[in-house]
Amino acid sequence: MKATGKTYLPPAAELRSDWHVVDATGQILGRLASEVARRLRGKHKRTFTPHLDTGDHVIVLNASKVVLSGRKEQLKTYTWHTHHPQGLRQKSFLQMRTEQPEKVIEKAVWGMLPKTRLGRKLLTKLRVYAGPEHPHRAQQPAALNLVTRKRQKAA
């Protein structure tokens, strides 16, 4: 059988986006962000198409309780420039988590999405909240349980 090489294009009636709620309490940031990015992109669905928005909406709660593995909590820094002379700024992960916990998860997820118009559109489907409450009850989001795997030390 010969491969056609054509990209699957789902009909508009098949494009449906669900709502998911993720609790970030005790979750490792990178593992959480990769699963959230996968859901936003729609890669978990049978109808995934690379150039279309086939993903779901994701709500992340308790962003202030996310953790990093190893010594990264003390060593990780966020760097940006204000576009003014001498405008290089830095903040540690611990500072960012206390002042802007939503930004920590948003930046991690953005790093795992495509840097295109599609990626920016997908990022609008992410809602991050520092606490356990969110205003999206009307959408009836389903709880998404992410499996956390603890590293086992080699004996």
Question: What would the pLDDT profile of 13-56 be if each residue is shown by its tens digit?
Answer: 888 899 999 999 999 999 999 999 999 999 999 888 899 999 99
Cα separation of 62 and 79, whole Å?
Answer: 24
pLDDT level of residue 153 (50, 70, 90 thresholds): low
Q: Please report, for the chain, the start and end positions of each structural domain, with discontinuous segments joined by +.
A: 18-143
Pick the CATH number of 18-143 from 3.90.1180.10, 1.20.1050.10, 1.20.120.420, 1.10.490.10: 3.90.1180.10
Give me 13's structure tokens.
């009636």
Cβ partners under 8 Å of residue 13, min gap 6:
none
Q: Residue type at 108?
A: A
Q: Are 66 and 104 within 8 A, CB to CB?
A: yes
- pLDDT of 6 reads 76
**CA nearest to 56, candidates 83, 26, 18:** 18
